[in-house]
A and B are shown apart, each in its own frame.
Chain A
């Protein structure tokens, strides 16, 4: 009897009909555009047409197939089961299967026991991810594959989830990296994600089959897999019908079920009852009249225009070189708009802007004088270098300037662009607090765009549909990766495209309100709210926003151009006599080349992209410090206690002639606090300490494939690489103790724990790195501040050093405690010096706080140097903590490192030339507690609280905007209060 398998994935439907021998009689692969039921009905009709309404075995599989199967009362086969069945039957001898789908990634290991793994809820999609990246580059997935085949180098792209990767890709494009290289890097990120996120320590080896749509259609992706996994041509298996394998397996599994007539299957699907929609919301507009009133009201926030053909006089140009779009506005002396432009970058912002500048230069002619120009956004520096734009200003300032034009009393601005959300509160004429979206919830605007495209609509069409969706789907308010599966759920429940569109709009708004701004009550948001950014041009989003807020807001008609408009206004304010923007002639002969290079000025060996422009102008990106960029050396002189502390630890000298051999110590987590102690301890008992080295991408990748939890923080993930590095250095003994408890630094603290990850990671390493079994891996529970520690240490080390005496240990501990105290005092002294230096020169001081391991340059990505390059001194939290007293707190103060933060913040809150910046590692749940408390401590005294979230993403774009905005806000605040502290050299 024939057998039918239907695989309903997140984006496509695959169906196959096979005969008894497994021969394929019929197959079809099609995007379902969220209309699953109709498409299956169509396919069934097709099958019946070719074989007649015969009896067959039939079953449904796939992530979106569950609902369809349940409603139609058809047998359901779990998709991983289906794919392993297919492989067992059609590709015998396979050891492992890598299968990528629209949103799912799976690995199946065959062998003694079949082990199947699916991607975790947090690991983003794969096929959908590639689609989204292709959209970003304005090409199709096939074109991306084609580009990738000409790649010369690979850039590191965060491989954890789609949203993160996007944050890496965008700046690469904006900074002029070769599109071929970016394309290949995107595919490599998928490979890394699959290996690191899914295999979780189990090696993918032997005969490996590659299945699923993306692997079938994008050969370059397969090639990268083969290369990364080091497979031979015989081992790598790309079956002909790779995209049909799950449906094929489903057809085989279907044989277990009672046969059905094909027309009965069709009838069942047809009659499948619509289950009552759960989680539906009220429609955005109850009536057409309501909609008309709404559009009329918003039409009022318009701006006058002027005709460049007739206008004579001065003009100013504003440019917003955004992450996905380029915007231009040319204004007259009375701020009428002469010319404006808004369009996607198509992955080549330099060329897009050149075309536009040509247009502007031509428009100007001889009657209009360009008096000045300013640029903001991700591409700010690049465009300044390329085209000689007069001023670069930080985005927040540009937006505030523009918002003030429409609503002089504005006290709250919310800007949602393609990639970023920016919210800022304005108080007494200055930007008072800034909230940027964390990397995890970014991409909302472009998410809607990609989603619309995926189901065959343009963004405006899709938005329009949403306006009149009757039962908007409740899709939650988490990041886009989660929204994808919420959409799946809504589809399962039969939501229409209009309902999903409206639901997505509401989700984007909730995201902004509850995740980024984190309002408890919309009343907290000011009276005069201005909304802007391209995403707000979508009426569905605007409406959802007003509804959620419970009040009317101002959306300027040029909502998408506000950054550029603000720049133009700023340029007008600056009042130059003449703009230095390059001439028409230069523009016509403009040339731009970019090439890859490596900076050799220090051990970091940053990968650089060198952009060269006509006229010998250069712009270099990819470097972590000013040196590679050919920048000023002045940044070097500004004190940086982060750098000092790191060097202080790196410079601890191991002993030369050990009597008891060597021991390896991974330079990770709490060793950033305890290394001086342990180094001295081992030195005194005659053991030479071998340090794993300072983290970099290379060390990370050494241990990447043994990380069991893909959502743990980056500092913890780095540990795996350090252990491997030690083994590679030939260490036969590694010391990495468990430390649930920390130092008692403040009597008033409730307890003195380390966080669970820091405390027990040594045990996780033992369990997940087989290499620890080949050496002596020493990971006892040791807390050296506890009384009686000497005896415990003696017991712990005795098995490894049989001739060790308790007396020796006691003496070593005594010396080690002194070394520990010396280290702490050195940091304090250095901090005091830095503060004195800054004060004597009237410079501001940033207390850059976090965990001790945040001084690791691979973890902080050079934020400390970014701050000094802005002309601010950097000190650590422990430098000032002793002078603060944060009691009483509104939290249980039970982690030692946190106690430092609270006290430091309290000190900063009453110190006029200091600001507090907290580094938070993504995934650090404990900082959900500290963040709010620190904000409270600082804001109660009118200080800013700035939090910078960091992850494996190497790009500092968002951090930079944040810090520059902070500087701008500090300057504005001081101008307002009549004080002047120089923030720039």
Chain B
């Protein structure tokens, strides 16, 4: 058994010895992306396992070990980890936990501390917790973010966004049911296998893979009646994680909608861009700003690559450009609004509407503070600017029942279907057509 080593403030460290012996448990958030992310971490020398559990015991463990007024994602993620430790599936003396830490002004930066408190309460004070962050918080001898790892993580997000984006569209229209899932599987396996050979960023390889993905998806046979398109935005965990949003995407699909989920790239760029904006708004060291700018533009470069390659997939929409999204929110919120999802959440709603996705689910965990401002707080101006927008805000909480959520979603869907019928009856100029035109122009711009 590895020796327990503490830093001078009493924090249990994740040592090199542990890195060799321990299994590192990571809570699931984005099923496709996490295939790549865990691969990148494994190549960095960790033995990683993603927790895919979904049973009720997770919420109970969360309620038991975390302050009940904390936001829902914390309750779920911590509940999921403690539930795993209690499951008997792991040797608890050979397990470490990993959790992200954003360093921003919302509660999310404190999840790691709440997790540690929960562990102590549950009698697992010997289980080390690793912080995954880009802000230089909490270092551990057994884990550090090497350049190859960062590069692999970024590529993982690019691939994850590509597969998620395309599969959400094709799943709605595929004629041979299951074709989409098979393609996702094929590419996640292929790319994961390749990852160990790409130590440093290799744009050429990424381009090749993305084009291959685009081509494969372009070949899926699609057809059938047009479906209402429903966008999903919100607090990052409940937006993406099926455990957090009661399997929202599956529900929307079962109701005959096409799901549109803006990817993780924008959030990543947003977080880096905040550092640039901070120095513009409040002043600060020029060097700091320059470094942030370089990193931001580096990731934006990948987003451009992603857009360029996806536009090769015939019949698919192209994800928006970060710069355009950012421009859209001007006049709604300032760029200093950066806690949680900040202005990006509002901007994503505006971008969805702009690209013809008029129906939006804004997911929010009960008690999410930034969401008061950028979610519910911005509905009014968003609707004023877009009178036909059909937005529903859904709260997620350990006590909220799915029947309550589904009832609200059904109202949104009923409105969506009515709008689609009207549109097809020619009552309004087809936004679908507008959207196709927009897409056409997009493609031309990208090509240029």
A residues whose Cβ falls under 8 Å from a Cβ of B = 63, 66-67, 76-81, 112-116, 118, 120-122, 200-202, 279, 474, 476-479, 482-483, 485-486, 488-489, 492, 514-515, 518-521, 708-709, 711-712, 716, 738, 740-741, 751, 753-757, 759-761, 763-764, 767-768, 781, 783, 786-789, 791-792, 888, 890-892, 894-895, 923, 925-929, 931-932
What would be 9 A-B contacts, judged by CB atoms less than 8 Å apart? A118-B411, A200-B380, A489-B403, A520-B122, A740-B339, A757-B373, A792-B281, A925-B70, A928-B107
> Residue B380 contacts which of A112, A120, A201, A786 (CB distance < 8 angstroms)?
A201
**CB–CB A783/B282 < 8 A:** yes
Question: What residue of chain A has the Cβ atom nearest to residue B383's Cβ?
Answer: A115
* Interface membership of B132, Cβ < 8 A: no
Given A80-B411, A201-B380, the answer on whether A892 and B109 have CB atoms closer than 8 Å is yes
Q: Cα distance A518–B118 when bound, in Å?
A: 12
Closest 7 CB pairs of A and B: A478-B399, A788-B283, A482-B399, A753-B105, A928-B69, A520-B121, A764-B377
Contacting residues, chain B, for A479 (C-beta < 8 A): 399
Q: Mark B39-79, 1 if CB is under 8 A from A, else 0.
A: 00000000000000000100000011101111100000000
**CB–CB A763/B333 < 8 A:** yes
Question: What residue of chain B has the Cβ atom nearest to residue A62's Cβ?
Answer: B407
**CB–CB B367/A711 < 8 A:** yes
**CB–CB A791/B338 < 8 A:** no
Contacting residues, chain A, for B281 (C-beta < 8 A): 781, 792
* Interface membership of B98, Cβ < 8 A: no
**CB–CB A741/B282 < 8 A:** yes
CB proximity of A891 to chain B, nearest CB, Å: 4
Contacting residues, chain B, for A518 (C-beta < 8 A): 67-68
**CB–CB B372/A764 < 8 A:** yes
* Interface membership of B150, Cβ < 8 A: no
CB proximity of A782 to chain B, nearest CB, Å: 9
Q: Cα distance A708–B101 when bound, in Å?
A: 29
**CB–CB B65/A786 < 8 A:** no
* Interface membership of B388, Cβ < 8 A: yes
B residues whose Cβ falls under 8 Å from a Cβ of A = 9-10, 56, 63-65, 67-71, 101, 103, 105-107, 109-110, 112-114, 116-117, 121-122, 137, 281-284, 332-334, 336-340, 366-374, 376-381, 383, 387-388, 393, 395, 397-404, 406-408, 410-411, 413-415
Question: What residue of chain B has the Cβ atom nearest to residue A519's Cβ?
Answer: B64
Question: What residue of chain A has the Cβ atom nearest to residue B406's Cβ?
Answer: A66
> Residue A488 contacts which of B69, B380, B398, B403 (CB distance < 8 angstroms)?
B403
**CB–CB A492/B372 < 8 A:** no
Q: Cα distance A114–B419 when bound, in Å?
A: 11
Q: Cα distance A664–B399 when bound, in Å?
A: 42
Q: Cα distance A792–B282 when bound, in Å?
A: 7
**CB–CB B395/A923 < 8 A:** no
Given known contacts A477-B398, A709-B377, A740-B336, what 10 new A-B pairs fall within 8 Å (CB)? A120-B393, A200-B379, A482-B400, A485-B404, A709-B371, A738-B337, A756-B369, A756-B373, A895-B105, A925-B69
Q: Cα distance A279–B379 when bound, in Å?
A: 35
Q: Cα distance A449–B338 when bound, in Å?
A: 47
Q: Cα distance A914–B87 when bound, in Å?
A: 45
Highest count of chain B CB atoms <10 Å: which of A477, A514, A759, A792: A759
**CB–CB A890/B282 < 8 A:** no
**CB–CB A756/B105 < 8 A:** yes
Given A738-B336, A764-B373, A925-B369, the answer on whether A492 and B403 have CB atoms closer than 8 Å is yes
Q: Cα distance A116–B418 when bound, in Å?
A: 14
**CB–CB A756/B403 < 8 A:** no
Contacting residues, chain B, for A77 (C-beta < 8 A): 414
**CB–CB B64/A712 < 8 A:** no
Q: Cα distance A761–B333 when bound, in Å?
A: 11
Q: Cα distance A486–B67 when bound, in Å?
A: 22
**CB–CB B401/A485 < 8 A:** yes
Q: Cα distance A492–B105 when bound, in Å?
A: 41
Contacting residues, chain A, for B336 (C-beta < 8 A): 738, 740, 781
CB proximity of A478 to chain B, nearest CB, Å: 3
Highest count of chain B CB atoms <10 Å: which of A483, A757, A890: A890
Contacting residues, chain A, for B109 (C-beta < 8 A): 892, 894
CB proximity of A104 to chain B, nearest CB, Å: 9
> Residue B68 contacts which of A81, A279, A514, A760 (CB distance < 8 angstroms)?
A514
Q: Cα distance A483–B122 when bound, in Å?
A: 27
**CB–CB B369/A486 < 8 A:** no
Contacting residues, chain A, for B56 (C-beta < 8 A): 279, 474
> Residue A929 contacts which of B70, B121, B380 (CB distance < 8 angstroms)?
B70
**CB–CB B415/A711 < 8 A:** no
Q: Cα distance A928–B108 when bound, in Å?
A: 12
Q: Cα distance A78–B373 when bound, in Å?
A: 29
Highest count of chain A CB atoms <10 Å: which of B137, B371, B372: B372
Contacting residues, chain B, for A890 (C-beta < 8 A): 113, 116-117
**CB–CB A514/B64 < 8 A:** yes
CB proximity of B6 to chain A, nearest CB, Å: 11
Contacting residues, chain B, for A932 (C-beta < 8 A): 67, 117
Contacting residues, chain A, for B9 (C-beta < 8 A): 888
**CB–CB A122/B116 < 8 A:** no
Contacting residues, chain B, for A740 (C-beta < 8 A): 105, 336-339
> Residue B105 contacts which of A67, A520, A755 (CB distance < 8 angstroms)?
A755
Contacting residues, chain B, for A767 (C-beta < 8 A): 332-333, 377-378, 380-381
**CB–CB A755/B369 < 8 A:** yes
Highest count of chain B CB atoms <10 Å: which of A479, A712, A740, A932: A740
Question: What residue of chain A has the Cβ atom nearest to residue B104's Cβ?
Answer: A753
Q: Cα distance A781–B402 when bound, in Å?
A: 40
Q: Cα distance A756–B334 when bound, in Å?
A: 14
**CB–CB A760/B339 < 8 A:** yes
**CB–CB B113/A754 < 8 A:** no
Contacting residues, chain B, for A521 (C-beta < 8 A): 121-122
Contacting residues, chain B, for A712 (C-beta < 8 A): 372
Contacting residues, chain A, for B373 (C-beta < 8 A): 756-757, 760-761, 763-764
Q: Cα distance A121–B406 when bound, in Å?
A: 12
Question: What residue of chain B has the Cβ atom nearest to residue A752's Cβ?
Answer: B105
Question: What residue of chain B has the Cβ atom nearest to residue A716's Cβ?
Answer: B372
CB proximity of B19 to chain A, nearest CB, Å: 24
CB proximity of B135 to chain A, nearest CB, Å: 10
Q: Cα distance A79–B414 when bound, in Å?
A: 10
Q: Cα distance A118–B415 when bound, in Å?
A: 14
Contacting residues, chain B, for A788 (C-beta < 8 A): 282-284
Contacting residues, chain A, for B116 (C-beta < 8 A): 890
Given A740-B338, A767-B377, A788-B283, the answer on whether A929 and B399 have CB atoms closer than 8 Å is no
Given A121-B400, A759-B339, A781-B281, the answer on whether A709 and B70 have CB atoms closer than 8 Å is no
**CB–CB B380/A925 < 8 A:** no
Q: Cα distance A202–B383 when bound, in Å?
A: 11
Given A80-B411, A476-B398, A514-B68, the answer on whether A891 and B282 have CB atoms closer than 8 Å is no
> Residue B387 contacts which of A66, A113, A485 (CB distance < 8 angstroms)?
A113
CB proximity of B344 to chain A, nearest CB, Å: 13
Given A489-B402, A925-B71, the answer on whether A709 and B397 have CB atoms closer than 8 Å is no
> Residue A760 contacts which of B114, B337, B398, B400 (CB distance < 8 angstroms)?
B337
Given A781-B336, A929-B67, the answer on whether A709 and B401 have CB atoms closer than 8 Å is no
Question: What residue of chain A has the Cβ atom nearest to residue B122's Cβ?
Answer: A520
> Residue A121 contacts which of B68, B368, B395, B411 (CB distance < 8 angstroms)?
B395
Question: What residue of chain B has the Cβ atom nearest to residue A761's Cβ?
Answer: B373
**CB–CB B337/A67 < 8 A:** no
Given A740-B339, A792-B283, the answer on whether A711 and B399 have CB atoms closer than 8 Å is no
**CB–CB B105/A754 < 8 A:** yes
> Residue B63 contacts which of A514, A759, A763, A789 (CB distance < 8 angstroms)?
A514
**CB–CB B107/A925 < 8 A:** yes
Question: What residue of chain A has the Cβ atom nearest to residue B400's Cβ?
Answer: A121
**CB–CB A923/B367 < 8 A:** yes
Q: Cα distance A827–B106 when bound, in Å?
A: 29
Question: What residue of chain B has the Cβ atom nearest to residue A791's Cβ?
Answer: B283
Highest count of chain A CB atoms <10 Å: which of B10, B368, B371, B411: B411
**CB–CB A891/B110 < 8 A:** yes
